[in-house]
Amino acid sequence: MNTFPQLPDGFTALITGASSGLGAEMARQVATEARVLILVARRLDRLGVLKEELTLQHPDLHVYLCQVDLNDPKSIEQLLDYLKDKSIAVDFLINNAGLGDLGTFQSSDWPRVRSMLLVNIEALTALTHALLPGMLRRGKGAILNVASTAGFLPLPTFAVYGATKAYVCSFSEALAVELRQSGVTVTSLCPGPVSTEFGEVATRPNSRRKFAPVKALYVPAVQVVREALDGVRRRKVRVIPGGLVRAGALFLEFIPTPVKRFFLRWADRFSGPEKPVGK
């Protein structure tokens, strides 16, 4: 049964970053209602394992695997050409892929920074730009952009990552207004800490600085995805999973920027300078 009012029966969903974490969980939950899934990631072996799991549980489901490096604009073009060649019309676009980098900007590696800009911003925008016209022609569709509560305020030692997620939040809000009478909905998912590979990947090699949010703020991936998809069904523009995280995020919105800046400076005094292990 299709419970998404803005999607056709037997809809097709495309999920980026589907090999692990929220992306894999998105695939599991969307598979109960979709007819076709296009799973996009760099790690084809993990996608293969996920496909076996999904098709075993849902024999009528068609799963396409696309090994794509979203750092590379040419790979995105190849993905779009593949969809065109296969005559696959995407009804539900889930822009989940993203990466972070924990540490001061001045000590960052430019290739890592560039990857965040390409994956978190450019790839998300390019896929939306390419697939939205088809949704508009059909008069049905949904876009779910995975942002973060990190996009709600400037974050020292997460400066570029937070800025990319602020872009996703702003872009999604504006696009939702533009499309409000089109039959296509746009939702931004803004989770707090989730138990995925994000923290491990964001931590720099040999760095003493670790990704260690308050444990009480963690929300299970299953719950994050459940609340996200429920928000899409209800045509919500923004979803912040978890009661504590949601309360904190809403509180932040009412704090003036100068006050935020004061507390961020105060907190940064205790973080100390960047100290790589072994140096």
Q: Residues with catalytic annotation?
A: 161
Distances (CA, A) of 251 to 124, 216, 247, 248, 270: 28, 17, 6, 5, 23
Asked if 136 contacts 182 with a C-beta cutoff of 8 angstroms, the reply is: yes
* Cα–Cα distance, 246 to 232 (Å, whole number): 17
Asked if 37 contacts 30 with a C-beta cutoff of 8 angstroms, the reply is: yes
